[in-house]
Amino acid sequence: MNEKLSVVYISRNGCSVCHALLPKIQHVMENYPAVVFGHILADDYEEVAGKLTIFTVPVILVFSEGKELFRDARFIRVEEFRETLDKMTALL
């Protein structure tokens, strides 16, 4: 995660909100081809959830050169996320 900007979406298999939100987040990410996007199923990688201190899902994390810049969880508003990415990509 040493890219200029990267986004990680963390979800779980049994989370209906996670599954409904993922396509919306992926759609937003289409407008940011320079931003690396990854999706992690916490069920498959419990150690990642522990290391990143994930207590609830869904979670969106934005990193720049390995440092966490932004975190949003549970009630993620897509438009707010888009605005955040706009600001961050403009700065970087």
Q: Compute CA distances 82 → 4, 26, 44, 70, whole Å.
A: 17, 11, 27, 12
Structure letter (DSSP) for residue 29: H
Q: How high is the pLDDT of residue 3?
A: 66
Give the total number of structural domains in the chain.
1
> Is the separation of the CB atoms in 61 and 52 below 8 Å?
yes
Q: How high is the pLDDT of residue 1?
A: 46
Task: Report if residue 75 sits inside a domain.
Answer: yes
Reported pTM: 0.89
72: domain CATH number? 3.40.30.10
Range of the domain at 37: 6-91
Per-residue pLDDT of the chain (92 residues; tens, 9 = 90+): 446 899 999 999 999 999 999 999 999 999 999 999 999 998 888 887 788 888 889 999 999 988 999 999 999 999 999 999 999 988 87
> Is the separation of the CB atoms in 59 and 71 below 8 Å?
yes
Task: Report if residue 1 sits inside a domain.
Answer: no
